[in-house]
Structure 1
């Protein structure tokens, strides 16, 4: 959100997140599934029936459709449709796509984990803020909120360590006041806010660079002067020839 109060959603970014276990070690993305998983019915179609072998799948968005032919074919698409509507997804286990994908079980499996967030983000050069918070974000009544219902928890541990956070192009001598900052939450709830002022300074030009620029300017002036002088000289010469012929 910038200083004008405008919230910028779905901005382009290059930010990634790694899952970490309780010891801070990276969890491999591959996961071995159980061989005793219960057999699920065929996917539920938008029209209410189950998917047949000769049909194209079009899952329901459960009331969050924006168009008549809007389909939500997985749990994430249903959650995104709800987010755009400003609705909270209170019970994902009642959503066919989320139930089939084991969404709640994945949430339980991730209990006690942490994450490592890294990357870059482009932002306007105006005052504003950005934040990290659990849960899917959405807009409701002009407010930016996060849906935490799916987690089914009353408390969240937001202890963290900032390895590095910088703005703009790196250069020698730059000071990033939040680097290596660490905070440990000791209560059931917590929120940490940091206020920083970003000031970009111009690098002073070296004497050699200054001298090079001066020489370039002087050389340019001489070149232009030579062109003008040649133009005037040849112009006068042509005029004299014509005057001589006329007399």
Structure 2
């Protein structure tokens, strides 16, 4: 047992010095204080670095195929009433959606931007109370309603039971339906009453679109668009004299979910129309983005850049449809953001290096100061001694 203790003593890398040989000095105390402050500061910055995450960015080719793209938007039009404001979307794959109402909320606002009434857009029309039959009389009990299409019937059995169905029948025939006040369904549904009520108002429209992950466009227009023989026709409702004012403010526009550090360049952008009517166009380059946080939670999103252009309505040429148009294209490059945090082992290694290194350097400095002062003192004593 004694031999083992002796062997352990022989392995002692920290031999002890008799306390009689210790000598404390003022310079040594000053160096110790300064080194302690330095060690504390270095430890604080190292701890801050350990707790802070670092985001690494890499670029790779986007090889994903298919899927959908979610577009979140919140846009305010101070001069366009909600009744005549609609949103359309189409892409290069040929898929088209006109007058979209799913997942869309329209909010009536006054000239100062205050909310008047919010409603969720839905498909269909209000039920007509005691509507007009095709033969001219009013619908009685136990009678099957079949509203007139006012000459646009595709067959003898074709019925138009709402104002919207009458308009659709006219669109399929390529006819213009301008005298809506003469249509019983439109009168009963209070269409023009709603238009009159909203004169001088604006509209906030917000919601989201689920579109194919290919290049495409979506736009807000004061009217409705329909598809006819491979042509797109914009049916502006003839309820407003003069030009349409498409001044707007984009409160939010994002492709996908938000992630830390994302910047959507159109959030808060406002444009005021000062010239004649026209269309305002945004050209967007969408960059697929994957964000992975320190806990390995992944967010699939997108970033985008934008350029803008206003297209005036030129007399004598094809009429420019007033509205706000967003044309987007997808980048072939994908951005990966990955959060990384220093490992605890790395942190402890750095802390040991800070303590040991500072202690060693401080010891060398103290020894240099002590022996330098001692040598200088001896030299002075010999010269004047």
Q: Which of 19, 42, 47 lines up with 2:108 in the alignment?
A: 19
1:163–1:179 CA contact under 8 A, matched in 2 = yes
Shift of 1:50: 3.3
- How many Å separate the matches in 2 of 1:208 and 1:196? 30
Which structure would you say has the larger RCO, counting Cα contacts within 8 Å and 6 or more residues apart?
2
- How many Å separate the matches in 2 of 1:165 and 1:140? 30
Shift of 1:84: 4.8
Q: Which residue of 2 aligns with 1:156?
A: 244
1:92–1:150 CA contact under 8 A, matched in 2 = no
- 1:119-144 Cα shifts (integer Å, max 9, x gaps): 11101111111000011221234222
- How many Å separate the matches in 1 of 2:295 and 2:223? 54
Relative to structure 1, the CA distance from residue 208 to residue 43 in structure 2 (aligned partners, 3 Å threshold; closer, same or farther) is closer
Question: Normalised by the size of structure 1, how large is the TM-score?
Answer: 0.69
Q: Which residue of 2 aligns with 1:174?
A: 262
Question: Normalised by the size of structure 2, how large is the TM-score?
Answer: 0.46
- How many Å separate the matches in 1 of 2:143 and 2:137? 11
Q: Which of 91, 107, 121 lines up with 1:2 in the alignment?
A: 91
Q: Which of 212, 216, 227 lines up with 1:128 in the alignment?
A: 216
Q: Which residue of 2 aligns with 1:215?
A: none
Relative to structure 1, the CA distance from residue 183 to residue 81 in structure 2 (aligned partners, 3 Å threshold; closer, same or farther) is same
Q: Select the structure of larger CA radius of gyration.
A: 2
Q: Which of 189, 200, 203 lines up with 1:115 in the alignment?
A: 203
1:79–1:89 CA contact under 8 A, matched in 2 = yes
- 1:136-175 Cα shifts (integer Å, max 9, x gaps): 2212342223211432423111110000000012211222
Q: Which runs of 5+ in 1 are unaligned?
A: 31-41, 210-247
Aligned length, in residue pairs: 199
- 1:198-221 Cα shifts (integer Å, max 9, x gaps): 111233575989xxxxxxxxxxxx
More strand by share: 2
- How many Å separate the matches in 1 of 2:174 and 2:153? 13
Q: Which runs of 5+ in 2 are unaligned?
A: 1-89, 120-129, 298-385
- 1:93-136 Cα shifts (integer Å, max 9, x gaps): 12111123343232222222110111111011111110000112
Relative to structure 1, the CA distance from residue 67 to residue 25 in structure 2 (aligned partners, 3 Å threshold; closer, same or farther) is farther
Shift of 1:53: 3.8
1:88–1:149 CA contact under 8 A, matched in 2 = no
**3-state DSSP class of the match of 1:129?**
strand
- How many Å separate the matches in 1 of 2:216 and 2:189? 37
C-alpha RMSD of matched pairs (Å): 3.0
- How many Å separate the matches in 2 of 1:50 and 1:15? 35
Shift of 1:194: 0.5
- How many Å separate the matches in 2 of 1:190 and 1:111? 21
**3-state DSSP class of the match of 2:281?**
coil
